[in-house]
Amino acid sequence: MKKLSVIIINYNVCHFLEQTLLSVRKAIATLDAEVIVADNNSVDGSVEMVKAKFPEVILILNKKNLGFSKANNEAIKRAKGEYVLLLNPDTVVEEDTFTKCCSFMDAHPDAGALGVKMVDGKGNFLPESKRGLPTPWVAFYKIFGLAALFPKSRKFGRYHMGFLDPDQTNEVEVLSGAFMFIRKSVLGKTGLLDEDFFMYGEDIDLSYRIVKAGYKNYYFPETRIIHYKGESTKKTSVNYVFVFYKAMAVFARKHFNSKNAGIFAALIHLAIYLRAALSIIKRFVKSAFIPLLDGAVIYVGMYLLKTYWEDNYKWAPGKYPPEFMNIAVPSYIIIWLFSIYLNGGYNKFYKPSQIIRGAVIGTIFISAISNFTDDFRFSKALILMGGFFTVVSLLSIRYLRHFIFYSGMNLGEEKDKRTVIVGNGDESIRIINLIKERQLKLNILGYLSPEQSAVVNDNYLGSAHHIKDIINIYKVEEIIFCSKDISSSQIIEWMTGIDNRQVEYKIVPQESNYVIGSNSKENPGELYTLDIKLNIEEENHLRNKRMLDVILGIVFLILSPFLMWFMKSPLRFLNNIIEVISGKLSWVGFSDTESGNLPKIRKGVLNPASRLNVYELDSPTLNKLNVIYAKEYNVYSDLQLIFKSFRNLG
């Protein structure tokens, strides 16, 4: 029998899983332990990565996404450890985490399970490290914000037990499924995870059953882990709201009496609709605020221009009818803004020329159609003045916003983050060169050595032991740690000890070409890939690709009675048209092979190999074709493939 079985459920988080396994490998170095990864049918290259880099890992390959509970149960049945650890794939553990947990459990036979102190990607304490049982009243305080208002209250703050010192070991009611260290013999009494919970709620249910079985759950802050909270699920999504709160309803029906369960269910349903509505409103406001502001400014400007034109020029046709402001101007605004959008004026990184070009094209289009539509047939002078006002007002708004937020006038560009690498010379130089080749928006100031003595060169800033002083001197905004040279414990110590909210942290796993971090406990982890620059990752190319799909789909649909005669499979061609227009497919996607380092795009009717008269290509060749397509992508690439493989669109 082994001392510990570490179980990780993975679903399409390849890079995060690799970092977790690297930290786990170091943490089990002095233990008789096994590591089990259950993969829920990932398509991002996770399986190939584990096989290649972690041959010692026991790999369970599920043919579909079984969810958290069922996949864990399958792994637990195969586990041979005295203790079982349920660990998220988006975590980093300290080198002594497992030995400390085993020692504590050995010394406390009353302990059924244990959780540790978790911090997010900025080193902030995660309150879900310790939680109370979500009774109806506890849930009420949580759902309606009283827990957030009074986090340390024994009455209102019980959901996260904020009244307990996060640096003191305490008995708690609920542990987090991100790190749940369980005595396996206890699972024989409580039963395994309840598979009625697909995702979320299963940790609450199991924690409660452990307590009911006569054991204690402990919060143990003597060791820490980083948890890039939410990497597998976007916490702000409507789907998350429904899944999470419905899991709470399942828990209530299972453990509370019918009266309390009814109250709880009513609260849950109210919470679902409230949170879903807030989530939808928040996302809409976030994505639509700038276009709505632009539209409002243009509308006011057009009203002022119209009034001035009516009152000061005798050849103006008297007062304009209400239809001008009610129908024509809103139509103008839609055309201007849509044209600016198509020209990239609403990209995260844009140029003033894109806004100007979009407004000019929109103005030309409005002028052209005004000759054919009565609703648009008003003053050409007002249209031209409106186009000019659109350019001036939109650029003014953006220059002002950029100056306020970034203290500069480089419109459409965020200020490069002042970044420092922490690692030994060779690894730091490797990362610096990769970042420069990748042209990331980072201003690399140099590197700090974790050792007192280091080779001094142009990139060397000093010793990492003076990291706080260097942050203040150079006004550092981002720190990238090289895990090859620095222990997880030291990284976490620096993250939690540097009292500067402006600093962001990321980690380069050993021998890897990517950087992982997270700037908020509410947001999923972030990833810098340092391999190659891919055109298909850029927002304007993705938007143009989608526009091409829709336009060609509509054209093909109109011409389908004629085009069907040229297709190898006419009915399939019609089905593909519908699926492309609806967004389920793209006319061109990657070849059907594992390509873990490539971005996710829609599955294609065609692929980069379609133009070749070869029916079978090996996986490495298909991967190379995919990389070339992604690296050199533009809409003409898709048009060429579609033209050359036209008969295969069905």
Q: What superfamily would CATH give domain 2-123+166-233?
A: Spore Coat Polysaccharide Biosynthesis Protein SpsA; Chain A (3.90.550.10)
Residue with tokens 């919470």: 271
Residue 7: per-residue pLDDT:
96
Which part of the chain has CATH 3.90.550.10? 2-123+166-233
For residues 86 and 13, is the Cβ–Cβ distance under 8 A?
Answer: no
CATH 3.40.50.720 intervals, the chain: 417-531
Please tell me the predicted confidence (pLDDT) of residue 296.
Answer: 93
CA distance 26 to 22: 7
Among all chains, which residue has been given the structure tokens 């304009």? 320
Question: 14-27 vs 97-107: helix axis angle to the nearest 10?
Answer: 60
Q: Give residue 253's pLDDT.
A: 63
Residues of the chain with pLDDT under 70: 136, 139, 143, 197-201, 229-265, 267-269, 271-273, 275-276, 279, 314-318, 373-377, 406-414, 439, 452-456, 519-533, 593-597, 612-621
Residues 6+ apart with CB under 8 A from 513: 434, 529, 530, 531
Give the model's pLDDT for residue 248.
64
CA 562, 552, 610: angle at the middle one, nearest 5? 90
Instruction: Please give the helix or strand (H or E) that residue 35 lies within, else none.
Output: strand 33-39
For residue 12 the two structure tokens come to 């399409």
d(Cα 184, Cα 172) in Å, to the nearest integer? 19
pTM of the entire predicted model: 0.70
Reported as a single tens digit per residue, the pLDDT across 236-286 is 455 555 566 666 666 666 666 666 656 666 766 676 667 667 767 777 777
Helix pair 238-255, 258-312: axis angle to 10 deg: 160
In angstroms, what is the C-alpha Rg of the chain? 29
CA distance 77 to 425: 46
| Residues sharing a CB contact under 8 Å with residue 6, sequence separation 6 or more, in sequence order | 24, 28, 33, 34, 35, 36, 85, 87, 98
Which two three-digit tokens encode residue 242? 């429904």
CATH topology of domain 417-531: Rossmann fold (3.40.50)
Please measure the distance between the N-terminal and C-terminal CA atoms of the chain and give it in whole angstroms: 56
pLDDT on residue 521: 52
Sign of the CA dihedral running 123, 126, 127, 132: negative
pLDDT for 231: 42
Q: Residue 616 burial by CB count (10 A; 0-12/13-18/19+): exposed, middle or buried?
A: exposed
Given a contact cutoff of 8 angstroms between Cβ atoms, the answer to whether 551 and 642 are in contact is: no
The token duo for 466 is 């003076």
Q: Quote the pLDDT of residue 302.
A: 92
Return the amino acid letter for 341: Y
Q: Could you tell me the sign of the dihedral formed by the alpha carbons of 440, 446, 451, 456, in that order?
A: positive
| Phi, psi of 410, deg, nearest 5 | -80, 85
